[in-house]
Amino acid sequence: MEEVKVLQITSNLSIDVVRKDIKNMHLAVYPPTGRVRIAAPLRIDDEAVRLFAISKIAWIRKHQRHFKAQDRQSPREFKLRESHYFQGKRFLLRIHEHEAPPRVEIKTKTYIDLSVRPNSTLEQKQTILNEWYRKELKKLIPEIIQKWEKKIGVSVAEWQVKQMKTKWGTCNIEEKRIWINLELAKKPIHCLEYIIVHEMLHLIERHHNERFLALMEKYMPQWKFYKEELNRFPVSHGEWSY
Chain contacts with Zn ion (rule: CB under 5 A)? 242
CB closer to Zn ion, 194 vs 242: 242
Q: How far is CA 217 from CA 3, 207, 225, in A?
A: 12, 15, 12
Q: Which helix (H) or strand (E) holds 215?
A: helix 210-219
CB closer to Zn ion, 123 vs 174: 174
CB 199 within 8 A of CB 242: yes
Residues 198-217 as b/e (b if ≥16 CB within 10 A, e otherwise) read bbbbbbebeebeeebbebbe
Q: Which residue is nearest to Zn ion (CB)?
A: 242
Closest contact distance (angstroms) between CB of 26 and Zn ion is: 27
Closest contact distance (angstroms) between CB of 36 and Zn ion is: 17
Query: Which residues is 4 bridged to in the sheet?
Result: 18
CB closer to Zn ion, 22 vs 214: 214
Closest contact distance (angstroms) between CB of 66 and Zn ion is: 26
CB closer to Zn ion, 63 vs 162: 162
CB closer to Zn ion, 128 vs 200: 200
CB contact set of 41 (below 8 Å; sequence gap of 6+): 19, 20, 21, 22, 23, 24, 25
CB 235 within 8 A of CB 73: yes
Closest contact distance (angstroms) between CB of 198 and Zn ion is: 6
Closest contact distance (angstroms) between CB of 169 and Zn ion is: 7
